[in-house]
């Protein structure tokens, strides 16, 4: 796994096309919709957005998806369309989900001539992913299992909801093949962290339960407009669920019982497994399960591999899990 740094380039800004507007006569806007005005103000980020500055930074992110000529690509938070402009020329179908109303309108105007591009103004945390990638009404046939064509996901994620977006994508991992995301470097370190390291936690364990995680490269603050105060990193998640391998199953509500167990295990990271788990399990059952799984009562959740966590989970269920 190789990590490299894309250097921040200081391009001369004085020759930007927008600067020639000082030589233009001031026009009077008469019934001109704001989104098609000849004078387009720079959109100020208000949703924690830091937009990629130019194609040189976007290209390696799109390349990390691989060949998308026969795939549907879901782009999360396209913003000003830097990634979108590259994907529109490559993907068989591109679905861009943008929460910001002004940006979504601008994207529709810009890519209106691309028959393979669909812009949806919505929150990716609430958009109906099943309707986008699941079987269409009237096409389901009794006795025939629906197997969706695997899609790919890409996105420059807002820092403040990175975890929420990633966990939602993993909830619908059955529809996806590859996920490439740009996130805050510290969050990338946590997602890719290995058991026994300081950064390993609930987000690491959950992501690695569903996918193989690769940290690809780092981008400096200058790669974005406006520049954030921290570096960012690109991650590639290749969907490879381990539930069957670990003997796990999904309950009737579709919520994985093992995920709930992990949440409890990592509930308070400074506490031992014993202290985190005793709020739910009887001490006798917990002591027996720890012994069966060969896990010390003084161990913390971040020291356990997924295999060890699954082993303890099974031992507790066999001993009379109250859930």
Tell me the C-alpha distance between 195 and 306, whole Å. Answer: 8
Q: Are 297 and 164 within one domain? A: no
Q: At 45, phi and psi to the nearest 5?
A: -65, 135
DSSP strands (E only) in 136-198: 151-156, 176-184
Q: Are 58 and 182 within one domain? A: yes
**CA 167 remoteness from chain centre:** 7
Q: Per-residue pLDDT tens for 34-80?
A: 333 333 344 444 556 799 998 999 999 999 999 999 999 999 999 99
Which of 187, 207, 239 marks a domain boundary? 239
Contacts of 215 (CB under 8 A, 6+ apart): 1, 3, 188, 189, 192, 233, 234, 235
DSSP 181-230: EEEEHHHHHHHHPPTTSTT-SHHHHHHHHHEEEEEEEEE-GGGEES--SS
Q: At 103, phi and psi to the nearest 5?
A: -65, -40
Q: At 34, phi and psi to the nearest 5?
A: -55, -40
Q: Are 69 and 123 within one domain? A: yes
Q: Are 170 and 137 within one domain? A: yes
Which structural domain, as residue segments, surrounds residue 296?
Answer: 257-318
pLDDT value at residue 35? 35
Q: Residue 12 domain-assigned?
A: no
Q: Are 95 and 170 within one domain? A: yes
pLDDT value at residue 319? 77
DSSP helix/strand/coil, 103: helix
pLDDT < 70 regions, the chain? 1-48, 137-146, 250-255, 320-323
DSSP helix/strand/coil, 11: coil
C-alpha neighbours within 13 Å on the C-beta side of residue 309: 31
Q: Are 197 and 303 within one domain? A: no
Q: Are 50 and 93 within one domain? A: yes
Calculate the alpha carbon distances from 9 to 6, 64, 80, 86, 228 in Å: 9, 21, 20, 20, 16
Q: Residue 246 domain-assigned?
A: no
pLDDT value at residue 278? 94
Q: Residue 74 domain-assigned?
A: yes
Residue environment code for 263-283, b if the CB has 16+ CB neighbours within 10 A, otherwise e: ebbbeeeeebbbebbeebbee
Q: At 80, phi and psi to the nearest 5?
A: -85, 0
Q: Residue 159 domain-assigned?
A: yes
Per the listing, tokens 């960012």 go with 232
Which of 195, 213, 239 marks a domain boundary? 239
Q: How many other C-beta atoms lie within 10 A of the C-beta of residue 248? A: 19
Q: At 178, phi and psi to the nearest 5?
A: -140, 140
Q: Are 171 and 300 within one domain? A: no
Q: Per-residue pLDDT tens for 238-269?
A: 999 999 899 987 554 434 789 999 999 999 88
Q: What share of the chain is helix, strand, coil (3-state, %, to 5)?
A: 35, 15, 45
Which of 211, 239, 267 marks a domain boundary? 239
pLDDT value at residue 142? 63
Any idea what the CATH number is for the domain that residue 270 is in?
1.10.8.100
Number of domains in the chain: 2
Q: Are 234 and 290 within one domain? A: no
Handedness of CA 130, 133, 138, 142 (dihedral sign): negative
């Amino acid at each position: 796994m190789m990590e490299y740094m894309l250097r921040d380039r200081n391009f001369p800004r004085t020759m930007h096309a927008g600067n020639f507007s000082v030589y233009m006569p001031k026009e009077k806007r008469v019934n001109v919709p704001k989104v098609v005005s000849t004078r387009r103000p720079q959109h100020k980020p208000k949703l924690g957005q830091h937009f990629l500055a130019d194609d040189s930074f976007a290209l390696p992110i799109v390349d990390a998806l691989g060949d998308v000529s026969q795939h549907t690509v879901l782009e999360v938070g396209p913003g000003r369309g830097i990634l979108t402009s590259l994907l529109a020329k490559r993907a068989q179908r591109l679905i861009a989900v943008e929460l910001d109303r002004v940006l979504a309108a601008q994207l529709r105007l810009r890519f209106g001539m691309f028959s393979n591009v669909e812009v949806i103004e919505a929150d990716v945390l609430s958009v109906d992913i099943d309707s986008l990638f699941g079987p269409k009404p009237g096409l389901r046939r009794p006795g025939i299992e629906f197997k969706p064509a695997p899609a790919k996901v890409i996105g420059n994620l807002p820092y403040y909801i990175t975890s929420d977006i990633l966990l939602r994508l993993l909830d619908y991992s059955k529809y996806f093949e590859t996920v490439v995301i740009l996130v805050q470097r510290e969050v990338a370190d946590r997602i890719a962290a290995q058991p026994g390291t300081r950064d390993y936690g609930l987000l690491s364990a959950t992501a690695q339960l569903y996918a193989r995680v690769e940290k690809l490269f780092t981008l400096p603050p200058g790669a974005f407009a406006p520049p954030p105060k921290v570096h960012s990193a690109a991650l590639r998640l290749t969907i490879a669920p381990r539930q069957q391998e670990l003997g796990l199953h999904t309950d009737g509500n579709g919520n994985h019982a093992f995920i709930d167990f992990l949440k409890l295990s990592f509930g308070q990271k400074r506490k031992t497994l014993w202290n985190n788990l005793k709020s739910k399990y009887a001490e006798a059952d917990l002591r027996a399960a720890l012994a069966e799984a060969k896990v010390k009562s003084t161990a913390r959740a971040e020291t356990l591999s997924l295999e060890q966590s699954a082993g303890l989970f099974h031992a507790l269920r066999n001993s009379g899990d109250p859930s």
